[in-house]
Amino acid sequence: MPIPPLYGHEGTRNRLVGAIASGRLPQALLFEGPRGVGKQRLALWLAQALVCEKAAEKAGDEAREGCGECQQCKLVLNLSHPDVHWFVPLELTKKSGDADKQVDVVQEALAEEMAARREQPLYEAPSGLASHGIAAVRLLLRRLALKPALGQRKVFVIGDAERLVPQVGAEAAANALLKALEEPPANTVVVLTATAPEGLLPTVLSRVVRVRVARLGDSIVAAFVQRELGVTGQRAVAQRVAAAEGCIGRILATGERGDRGGEAAERFAAAVNAGPVRRYAFALGQQPFQARGGFTEMLDGLLERLREQARSGRETGTVVRAMAQVLEARGLAQGNVNPQLVAAVLGGDWERAGTGPE
Ligand SMILES: [Zn+2]
């Protein structure tokens, strides 16, 4: 099944097309904006514009978006174009000690993920544990070195680029990636996307041209909901538009992945309320090295829970203090402080101040 058409982002599209036409499109871009706003979809749209046969014929003063009809466009829309490389964070189940084999494992997992997206193009946000590991970077470098298979250009889309994890002992690959961003091979465009660009390494950030991707207007979200999700009825459409808050992706994340943080938050709240023994047991049960993944999701789940409590009448001052404590913990988690420690400190603060979630 082809991916659904891109909705909205007209202004950004015009600027990008104009940049292609005048030959001034930067070779390393970062699309940044809220989760679910369509950054990766926009990047694939750009890839299509870059490889489309008809757009290429009109290159120069008249270059424009991909036609959607030619073979190249169709391959992009079916996630099958050999020169459009879409990297998404992966949660690997298989591991291999051998570096070369690990690259094969990533290649296979990525192919499986793409096959799943061809089946179901409306995908959800990746799980908190998924990342771009060093083997993914090695695969990327390997593909960067290839000549285009079909046309003149290669395009790389690296979704959720804040999940590019620096790894000890893999400095060579990390440096090669930085060099590739600074000076990509000829006829190659690399698009990173990020919800939280401050989570990217400064060395990456300084090598890309940043493009803000803004929220969509409600009428655009409504059109998507009606045409792509087949929702009819004014009320049902209005509900989804309100839930989207300008980000179509938000209303697609309804499955089990969507609530992982919420469930963990509930377990944490229950443990805090059950006293110090349970609280420490919960803290020690955290993965010590996944501060930015599932643990951060859990903290986000806690924030959501506190917001709900504020809406349903819990004393505002208490909620605000509790939220400040969670945000502080979140900051520590982003700095990769051990989640066991962060959870223990947060739980203790809550118990002392009586601010924990009810
Ligand atoms: Zn085309």
Give dist(CA 208, CA 132) in Å, integer: 18
* pLDDT score for 224: 95
Give dist(CA 215, CA 136) in Å, integer: 30
**277 CA to centre of ligand 1 in angstroms:** 62
**153 CA to centre of ligand 1 in angstroms:** 14
For 75, 86, 218, 221, the CA distances from 246, given in Å and listed in that order, are: 29, 24, 6, 7
Nearest residue to 40 (alpha-carbon basis) of 81, 73, 65, 3: 3
* pLDDT score for 168: 66
Q: Burial of 234 by CB count in 10 Å (0-12 exposed, 13-18 middle, 19+ buried)?
A: exposed
**117 CA to centre of ligand 1 in angstroms:** 21
Q: Is the dihedral of CA 31, 137, 89, 71 positive or negative?
A: positive
The residues near 177 (Cβ < 8 Å, ≥ 6 apart) are 137, 140, 141, 164, 204
Nearest residue to 166 (alpha-carbon basis) of 183, 181, 180, 178: 178
**273 CA to centre of ligand 1 in angstroms:** 59
**24 CA to centre of ligand 1 in angstroms:** 21
The amino acid occupying position 327 is L
What is the C-alpha end-to-end distance of the chain, expressed in Å? 45
Residues of the chain with pLDDT under 70: 56-63, 166-169, 253-260, 290, 357-358
**Contact indicator for 110, 94 with CB cutoff of 8 Å:** no
**303 CA to centre of ligand 1 in angstroms:** 45
Nearest residue to 30 (alpha-carbon basis) of 170, 259, 199: 199
**8 CA to centre of ligand 1 in angstroms:** 19
**64 CA to centre of ligand 1 in angstroms:** 10
* pLDDT score for 58: 63
* pLDDT score for 279: 84
**48 CA to centre of ligand 1 in angstroms:** 7
**49 CA to centre of ligand 1 in angstroms:** 7
Phi-psi region of 56 (alpha: psi -120 to 50; beta: other; left: phi over 0): alpha
For 101, 106, 243, 278, 335, the CA distances from 52, given in Å and listed in that order, are: 34, 28, 35, 59, 42
**155 CA to centre of ligand 1 in angstroms:** 15
For 270, 284, 330, 331, the CA distances from 335, given in Å and listed in that order, are: 26, 19, 9, 6
**151 CA to centre of ligand 1 in angstroms:** 12
Spatial strand order of the sheet with 188-194 comes to 84-87, 154-158, 188-194, 28-32, 209-212
